[in-house]
């Protein structure tokens, strides 16, 4: 009987050690957030919330300098006020959001008179990528490029 108890205890300890090691395995990095340093927090918050339709979320600072948005299951966009001037940015560096209907976004942009363009820079035009996804590009109030596409992934 003692032998069975020892073997059971040993098996339990080995299993516990195995589970502890499994819990410490490295996980791959995952995207958490993107922070944009903006000149006018209210204007940028309006753009991302009201124009693009992102869901705002509580931010921990409560200092009037931050707006946070949920942009994925575990991903966020953080706006931080304090930039002294908007800067020119290359279109190659951009945020991208996928939507169900690109035409709905275009209607929203037209409502607020916000210009957009295709990849080549043609105003009020769309680009069809090689994989068939339609896309447009626009700038936020601080000149950061934003791509909107209809990727169904």
pLDDT, tens only, 67-112: 999 999 999 999 999 999 999 999 999 999 999 999 999 999 999 9
Check residue 135 and give its pLDDT.
Answer: 98
Check residue 25 and give its pLDDT.
Answer: 77
Helix (H/G/I), strand (E/B), else coil: 77: strand
CB 115 within 8 A of CB 124: yes
Model confidence at 60: pLDDT above 60: yes
Check residue 101 and give its pLDDT.
Answer: 97
Domain-by-domain residue ranges, the chain? 33-149
* Mean pLDDT for the chain overall: 90
Check residue 10 and give its pLDDT.
Answer: 45
The rounded distance, in Å, linking the Cα atoms of 47 and 62 is: 20
What's the mean pLDDT in 32-40? Answer: 98
How many degrees, rounded to 5, is the angle at CA 9 between CA 7 and CA 11? 70
Model confidence at 64: pLDDT above 70: yes
CATH T-level fold of 33-149: 2,3-Dihydroxybiphenyl 1,2-Dioxygenase; domain 1 (3.10.180)
| Residue 118 pLDDT level (bands cut at 50, 70, 90) | very high
What's the mean pLDDT in 20-28? Answer: 70
* Partners of 98 in beta bridges: 149
Check residue 4 and give its pLDDT.
Answer: 54
Model confidence at 153: pLDDT above 90: no
Check residue 17 and give its pLDDT.
Answer: 46
Check residue 37 and give its pLDDT.
Answer: 98
Report CA Rg, the chain: 24
DSSP structure class, residue 123: B
| Residue 8 pLDDT level (bands cut at 50, 70, 90) | very low
* Partners of 100 in beta bridges: none
């Amino acid at each position: 009987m003692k032998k069975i108890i020892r073997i059971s205890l040993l098996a339990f300890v080995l299993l516990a050690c195995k589970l502890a090691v499994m819990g410490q395995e490295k996980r791959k990095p995952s995207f958490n957030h993107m922070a944009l340093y903006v000149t006018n927090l209210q204007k940028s918050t309006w753009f991302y919330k009201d124009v693009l339709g992102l869901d705002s979320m509580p931010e921990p600072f409560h200092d009037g300098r931050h707006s946070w948005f949920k942009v994925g299951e575990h991903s966020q966009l953080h706006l931080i006020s304090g930039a002294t001037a908007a800067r020119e940015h290359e279109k190659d560096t951009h945020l991208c959001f996928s939507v169900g209907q690109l035409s709905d976004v275009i209607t929203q942009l037209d409502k607020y008179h916000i210009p957009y363009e295709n990849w080549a820079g043609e105003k009020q035009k769309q680009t069809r990528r090689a994989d068939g996804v339609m896309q447009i590009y626009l700038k936020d109030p601080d000149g950061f490029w934003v791509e909107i596409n209809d990727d169904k992934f």
